[in-house]
Structure 1
């Protein structure tokens, strides 16, 4: 125990104050002249603070030198280093950060965050995309980095669904991730499903698309977008990306370091998809989460019955069908350079209709007239096949390449073709040779 020598007079004063005003009377009083510097005029104190807030940040010695020059011109007492030091150190760190480091750094360090904690599963889902730190092989065997669209339940941290693709983020990729998240999975161990009350995303064009907006309206999902340039609130899904990177991708062939594969890529997109699903179902959703103290799947399923759509077909109709306006022609409906026909269309020639189609299969489209289903129209060229937009684009490119090749071949043939004059010369020379040969063959006889 520390011994402190206090004069008896001070103790008697403390006791008297305690009897009059209680314990608060014994608190150390704040100096009335705090933050006032008697050695410097008030305007020089403000000038000192102004120098301290300038970019780039000035050393205290530089500030002292500038303030000293001003004091000399005024013929007043020169400031000491300690005085300038105290003035600079009294400036709020938040003010210094905002003035020197900018609003973004200030926002990350000092801006108040509203952390809304959900009270039940499927109350809020977060969705986001990331380009994975791994190279895989595409259909042609070329190296490529895949994109992952992930949907996570905010309350439990359970992964509800994801979609892996070699194409950049799009509304159809988001729709496919939502499709897996909402409906019951083929893998029965992956129990997370249902329709969320809120879908929280960023301001990406795919999330803001009319397609996804229509889906959310139809399923009665309230869509909430984070503030532009301020991604706070989506940390849960971003932490999953980090976990996936540290626990799965780092040990796989083709793992990317500084944008380059550290080893030779060997995996296909299907193989990587299976690996990630295994990690989500068998590890991530079952391991205790540091933030909640529970396994995500256990926390999600506790006393909870998810709300599901009427059927898988209804869900597909909402998520995977894109609408396009068209006019019915005499030979049917022209769409994506194909012709679609149906006997029902005969009575609606010249009418404007709306088409719904699945971009993964263009063999069939659904036709709506005045917002009512009219018929299914078939493309005879694609009937019996499952051909998507991707395959059609590839076919068009291949056809165009073939045409360019044919054009090139014909150009070469034209360049190599002999001119008319040379042809005439060849003909004349050949004729002369023939005549000369014929001349030699003529036998001459003398007259007797």
Structure 2
């Protein structure tokens, strides 16, 4: 269970290193340049990166999963040695892994030749001190933003989350802010997903993203701003597993996301109309938004689309759509994290409390969940059957703490009995000893 989670973390790290090389539009010379650059930044040889790239092209994300033997090899380095390597890297981030190993050998921490460079490098990446992890990512090109438009549908999607409107106060609840998470196809301006939520979080983004993927297939690239809901591990992991290349706009460059920003402005027209309806629920706003998209937005012809509507442009595009199975989607959206169950039998995830149960008190458990809609969690621990748990609902009574094995009633202390026995044996041995004062 834990080894599989570690293998996925390794594959995820490898995919991030390969990210600049995944575009199908790179010519041979540019690919060679990016390969050298990736090798210098990551510390891995070009040969290793080419091997990973071939595996990814043939098998996708699974091709980057390390063999089980890789994990046992990594565990061969004691934690104290890894800690020292991290200190050396933190002192001078420019130190290569080979330099760090040489220093460890010179200072007597390890025997010469006993630590492999690739093994220590993997350990540093897992602890967050890989070369690439210490460098701030800078997108290529710092010139002025230029207008662009992809040719094929699903070449590139743009995404954003926007304040929509407030539901008015009712006798049952206070006013509630609503948001809309949206995805738009760059080539055709078709809105592949637009969903209304009362939370502005990563789960809302992922829920809408899955909705769009199921309806229109898998895009090659996803273009977002640098908001935490987009740059976090969860969305990046989904993209990596599905072979989607994430792209980031430069900070404060809203014009770089022109298609989705234009759609956001058009949404203001919907909001003006919807406020006249005085909606009372998220479901009502979602229904009206769907109707507005089909009957208003999709009927507008665009000069940039040769006078066609977004729907007409998308359906006329000849580029094949790529769909994946439901099982592949489930796997891509499933996350696993480790959590400690507290003395009340609860664990924390996503800022909420989940009721694991008294049998897990004090244990570090693996928690699996669907990142797009975490309504329930699967809690697992070695030697125990997995359990589906739900968010904590506060009640009037506490749960009864379970004891793993019932206490035994006894009328004597085994420790004191053993102590008495040992003393008697010592006294007996001393009786046969020679006392020099008696000679």
Which structure is higher in helix share? 2
| TM-score normalised by the chain length of structure 2 | 0.49
TM-score (norm 1): 0.48
